[in-house]
Structure 1
Amino acid sequence: MSFSEGQLFGRAQHLAAVADTLSDAGRGAGGALVVKGEAGIGKTTLLRRALDSTDGMAVLRASCVEPESTLPFAGLHLLLRRLEARLDDLVPDQADILRCAVGRADVRPVDRHSVNLAVLALLTALSTERPLLVAVDDAHWLDRPSADALLFSARRLDTLPVAMLLAARDGHAPALPAPGLPELRLDRLSGPDSDALLAAHANDLPPHLRRQIAEEARGNPLALLELSAAHRNGVTTGAGLPVEGTLRATFADRIAALAQSTRTMVLVAAADGTCDTATVLAAAEQLGAGVGDLTAAEKAELLMFTHNCIGFRHPLARAAAYATASLPERIAAHRALAAVLTNPEHAHRRAWHLAAAATGPDETVASELERSAEQARARGGYAAVATAYERAAQLTPSLCARARRLSAASRAAADAGQPDRALDLIRQAESFCATTAARVRAAMIHAMIADDQNRFSESYGVLRRTALDIVGSDTSDNSDNSGANDHSNVANGDSASHLLFWAAHSAWLGGEAAKVKQAADDATRLGLPAAPHARTLVRVAVGSPAQSAEALRELVEQSASIFPPCDDRPLELRGQLAVATWHLLLGDHSAAQDLALAVVRECRTEAAEGVLAPALAVLARAELALGLHERAASSAEEGLRYAEESGQSQAAAQLAGVLDHLAAMRGGLTSGDSAKDTTDTGSTRTVTAAGRASFTEQSHALALLDLGHGRHDAALQRLHAIPCADGFDMRRLAPQLAEAVARAQHTDQDTAWWRQQWSRARDVVAAHAEWARRSGLRWAVAVALRNEALLAERAPNDTDEDATDAGALFARAVELHRHDDGHPFERARTELNYGEWLRRKRRTTEARTHLRAASMIFESLGASPWAERARAELRASGEGIARGGAAGPDLAARLTPQEQRIVTLAADGLSNRDIGERLFLSPRTVGYHLYKAYPKLGVSSRRELARLGLAG
C-alpha cells in the first residue's frame, strides 16, 4: 500500500503505521487504529492521506459533529446512509435492526448488542468484494451507541479485509475510550520539522516572522499554516494565547473579512452543525445568501464541500463562526433552519433549532422538545432524553410542568449512567413543585442513585421522610369535594406504601435491621398495603440463615403484588432486578440468571444504562455459580465499564468481586491492592480504584486462591478476618472455612487457636446445613454434606464428631452433585476432597476415579491451580496422569482439549452418558467428539482406545 505524493513533515512513522494497517487489511488480516492528538495536530490530514491512497479499497467515511453527539445512532447514520441497498445482503433480522437504528424504518427500540452484531455482519459483507476502509473523523463526537457498535467491530477485524481508522481529539472534547485497540498519537512537531513546514509554505515571509510564528504555534501544524496566512495578510492576533485560542482568533479574523452574505452562509452552516447541504442552502437563502457565498467560503478555506457533504475545514472554524456572530444573527439562523426542517424525520433537529432561537419561556417549543425526547427514548438514547427534557424544562412557563420535565430529565440521566447530573436535576425539580406525584418521583430517583453508590442510609432517609410526609398531606384544591379527597388519600397511601417498602429494602441492603423494622412498623401503623411485605423483609433481616431464606422465598412468591406493572419502565426493571437478586441470595442461580438476563436485554434495548450495570452484576454472579465462567467474565467486564463510568460503586464492587473470584480460580490473582484477571487472550486487566472489590470480596477471592494452591493455613488466617454478618455471608464462608480448617497443618503452639477456628467452622457449617436442607437445592445440600465430612474428618479428639462417617457424607455429596446440572466447580471440589480422603484411607483405586473427575472438571473451567492439585493427588495415589508409556501424550497432542478429556474417559470404559454427566455435555455431543477424534488416533472403536495408553 503506497501513499500519494506530498510530504507531511515529521509524520513518517505515523504514515507508515497507517500504511501497515491498510496493507494488513488488503491481505485479510484487518485491524483498527485510533489516531489521537490535539486540535490542529494533523489527524484529519492523515485520514485524508489514507483515503487518497486506498488502491481500490471500498471506503466508508464519516465526520462526526457535536450537535449530534447525543442523538442515538447518528454516527452510524452518517456512515451508512448511502448503503440502503446493501442492507439486503444481510439476513432479514439484521437488516431490519440496522434500518431501525439509523432511522430508515419505523422507530422502535432495538437491542444494542444486536446492532453491534449487525454492523459487524455488514462490514463483513461489504468486504467480500474488495478490502474495506472505515474512516471516522472527529470520532470523539460519536454518540454512545454508534461508538459502541464501531468499537465492537474494531476488536474483531483480525480475520477480515477491513481497516478502521478513528481520529479523536485530545483535550476540550469528550474522551473516546477504546480499550484493546492500538493507538497512534500525533505529537507536536519538532523545531526542525516546524522550520521545514514553514520553509515549504511560508518562505515568502521574513525569517524573523517565521521564527515568531514557530514560537507562537509551538509545533502545531495547523497553527503554523494559519498564523503564516494571518501574518501574510497583516493580521497578528493571538500572540501569547494558547494554541487553540490562537487558531480560533485567526479563523475569526478570516470570517470578519468576508462579505456579509458569505458570513451569513458560514453562520448558518455553523448553526446547523451537520453536513446537510440542502438544508444549509435552503435556510441561508431565506437570509439572503446563495450558492455563490458557499463558493466564497470555500475559497477562504473555511468551508469544504466533499461527497455531498458541507463541513468546516476545522472544528475551531465552526466555533469561531458561531461565537463571532451577534445574538440576533444566531437567532435568525436557527429560525431559518427550523423553518426548512419540515420533514417528520427532522423533528429532533427542528425542535432544537426552535429552542436555540427561543428568548424566553415558550410552551410550544418545550412541547416539541418533549416529543423529541420521547423519540430519542424510542431509539434507545437516555442521555439524549435527559438533554431534551432539561432544555424543555428551561422553556416551560408552568412551575409544576417544569418540575415534571426536570424529573423526567433526572430519571433519564440516572438511567443513562449520569448520577451526578441526575441528582442536580432532581434537586432543581424539588424546588419548583411540591405535589405528591412530583415528590414521589424525586424521592425514588434520589434513592436509586444513593443505593447505586452504597449510600443506603441516605436512600432510606429520603424514602421514609417522603412517605410519612405525603400520607398526611392533602393535595386537593377543593376541601368540599370529599370524593376527590378520598381518591387523593388512596393515591397518597399507595405512594407512601411503595416508598416505605423500598425504604425497608434499602435499609436491608445496608445491613441496618433496626431501620428495616422501623419502616415496617410505620407501614403497619398507617395500615398501608406494603405492611405485610415489609414485615417479611424484617424476618429476612433478623432471622437465622434458614429463616431468612424462608422469608425471602415468600417475597419471591409475592413479587407480582410487590412490584406490579407500571408505566415507569426503568423503575419496573429495578423491581424485576430485585427479584433476580432474591433468587441469587436463595441459591437458585438458574432462576436468577434467567431473570437477570431478561433485564439486561431490556436495558440494552432501551439504553437504560443506569440499570444495566447492577443487572450485569447479578447476571455475572449467577453465571459464576453455574460454572459459566467465560460468560461471567464477559458480563463482569462489560458491567464494570458501565459501573465505573457512572459511579455506581455497589455494582462496581460486585463485578470486580466476580473478576477477582475468576482470577483466583485461574491462579491469576495477587495479594496486592489491584486484582488481576488474565483473559483468554492472555492480556491482564487491572481493576481500577472505583471498581475494586470490597475487602470481604477480595478476602474471599484470595482465600480461594490459597486453597487452590494448597495453602490451607494461609487461607485459614485470611478467613479468620472475614465477618459473617448475615445468611449470605454464611453461605459463602462455610465451604471455604470447612476446607481450610480441615486441611490446615497447625503446630502444637497454635493448637488452641486452631480449635477456636474449628469451633467457629462447626457453627457456620451447621447454619449452612440448616439452610441447605430447607432450600431443597441439590447442589447446596451436596456442599453442606461435604462441609460436614471435612469437619468430621478433622474433629478434635475431645468431641464426638469423629464418630461421623466422613466417607459416607462425601459419597452422598458426590451422588447429589451428579444429579445437579450446574455448579461444576463445587462438584469438582467435592470430588477432589473425597478423592483426597480415599487416598489417605489407602483406597487408591476408588480415589483415582474421583480425582480424575475433579481434574477434568477443573481443567474444563480453566481452574489451573485446582487442576494441578488434583493431578498431584493422582500422582500421590501411585498412578501417572497418562498410563501406557510415551504413546499416550504423543497421540493426545493430536486432539483438542475437549476431545482429550472425552477420549480419556472413553478409554476408561465410561459410556457416552457417563462422560456427559462428568463433563456436563449431552450424550450426543460426546458421540460427536468421539467421531471426530477416532480418525486422528487411527482407531474405530472404544476397544482400540484402551491399547493406546490414553486411559486416565
Structure 2
Amino acid sequence: MPFVGRKRELHQLAEVLSRPPVVVLLEGEAGVGKTRLLHELHWPPLTIGRCHPMRFPYGPVVEALRDASPPRDLNPITGALRPLLPEVAHLLPPAPPPLADRQVERHRLFRAVLSLLGSLRPITLVVEDVHWVDPDTRELLAFLARCLPAAVNLVLTYRAEDLSHPVAEMLAHLPPHIDHAEIALAPLDPGETAELAEQLLPHPGDLWPLSRGVPSAIEQLARMLAEGRPPGTPPALRDAVLLRLASVPLAARMLVQAAAVLGEPATARTLAALAGVPPERSERALAEAVRRGLLVESAPGRYDLRQPLARQAVRDSITPAARRRLHRHLDAPAPPQGTLSPREEQVVRLAAGGLTNREIAESLVLSPRTVEVHVANALRKLGLTSRRQLRTT
C-alpha cells in the first residue's frame, strides 16, 4: 500500500531512535498504520515480535529473537534462553543448571534477554499490540526498559482503547540516561485520504466519510470498488468492532447499539433512554464505551460511533428482537415531564438544520404526517411557537 501522510511522524520516530537507548510508545487505533510506519524506517535495524490475544508467555520476545544471529563469545547467561529459542540454540552457550527459586530463575532469564539484545546492537526491539501483552512479557518489558544497553531501543505499539493497563506507567520509572517518547498516530485527513485512494484506484470517489481516514479501511474499500462491489464494512474492521463490543459490559453494549440504530450524535440521556439503561448505570456504561473507542464525543455532550462503517457493523449484529425493542423505545412517547422523546429529539435536530418534513421523513423512513406530529409535540414541549425558533434552541 502506498505510504501517504506520515512524513512528520516518520521523521519524529527516526530522530528519536537515532539517540539510543530510548523507549518509544507508538499509539493508534486498529488499521491506522503503526506497523507500516515502522517498516518505513531505514535505520536502526528492527527485530519485531507481536503480542497475541491468547497471551502466550514471552511470546512476542521469542518471536523477535528466534531469527537472531548473535556473535560468538556470548555471555554464558544467554544459555538460559536455549529452551525458549530452539531455532538459535546451537549459537548459544550451554544452558545453566536449573535454580530452585522460581523468582531467581526468572531474573536470570531477564538478564539473558538483556545480554542477547546487547550483543545484537545497534538494534531496536519492537513489541507490537501491547494491549494484548501477557503478564510475563509485561514484567520483562518493564525490566528491559529500565536496563537498556547502549545502542538498543525499545518500541511498544498499542491501541489505547483496548489497553487494560497504562503502558505509560513504565516511563515514570526510567533512569535518567534512558530517554523516552510518545507518538500518537492519527487517521489521515480528507486530503490525505483522497491521495491514498487515488493511488489505489482511479476515480475512487470520496472515501473519507466511510473510512474516517483509517488507511486499512481505505485500502479495503478501494478493493471492493475495484472488484465492482458496493463499498461496505470491511471484514477486518467488522470483526475488530464486534470483538471489542463483546468485551464490554452489557449496559455499555446496549448504549453502543442504541447509537448505531439512532444513526446520529445523541446526548447521554437520549442513548440511555433508547437503550433502556437505568440512569444509575448509564454514566459508567457510557464512560466505558468511550474508553474502549466504541463511542466518541463527536460534538460537546453528543456521542456517536467513530465511523459509519463501525455503525453499520454494530447495526448488522443486533438481533431482530433487540432491534424491535430499540425501535419501540425510539418511537415511544416522552415521559410526562415535558422532555422530548428520542425520536422527537432526532426530528428536532433535523428540523433545526433546515430540513422540511418530507426530507426528514425520507431521512428517518417515516411518513410526513408522523414527522408533522413529532414537530408539533416538540414545539409544545419546548414552549416554542414557531419552527424557526428551533434553530436557536
TM (normalized to structure 1)? 0.21
Task: Give the structure with the higher percent helix.
Answer: 1
> If you compute each CA radius of gyration, which structure gives the higher value, 1 or 2?
1
Alignment TM-score, normalising by the size of structure 2? 0.49
Q: Which has the higher contact order (CA 8 A, sep 6+)?
A: 2
Higher strand share: 2
